[in-house]
């Protein structure tokens, strides 16, 4: 049962990484490419950049020895909603720019 839980966490983390990478690649294409004539980012490259940025920035540490839904739910919500909200605001900004 424990291996199923670990595999589930890994699958969710990978999906969150893909969502973050997609959001970064789209925002990069909207704002960085026209401004600096930079190359477009692929989703795997954007995922790698997100991973590097998460390693370099302060992340929340979990002090709990047992992960419960009360601890996991806000982290999952943040992992998926943050890039989608960034895309929404980026799109709105793009429309008025």
pLDDT, position 83 = 95
Whether the per-residue pLDDT at 89 is higher than 80: the answer is yes
Delimit the domains of the chain by residue range.
2-55+68-96
On whether the CB atoms of residues 66 and 5 are closer than 8 A, the answer is no
| pLDDT, tens only, 48-87 | 999 999 889 877 666 666 667 777 788 888 889 999 999 9
pLDDT for the residue 63: 65
Predicted confidence at residue 4, as pLDDT, reads: 62
CA distance 39 to 50: 17
Q: In this model, does residue 1 exceed pLDDT 60?
A: no
């Amino acid at each position: 049962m424990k291996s199923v839980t670990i595999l589930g966490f890994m699958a969710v983390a990978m999906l969150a990484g893909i969502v973050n990478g997609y959001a970064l690649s789209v925002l990069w294409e909207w704002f960085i490419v026209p401004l600096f004539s930079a190359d477009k980012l692929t989703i795997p490259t954007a995922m790698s950049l997100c991973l590097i940025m998460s390693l370099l920035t302060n992340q929340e540490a979990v002090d709990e020895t047992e992960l419960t839904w009360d601890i996991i739910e806000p982290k999952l919500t943040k992992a998926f909603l943050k890039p989608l909200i960034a895309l929404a605001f980026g799109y709105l900004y793009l429309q008025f720019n």
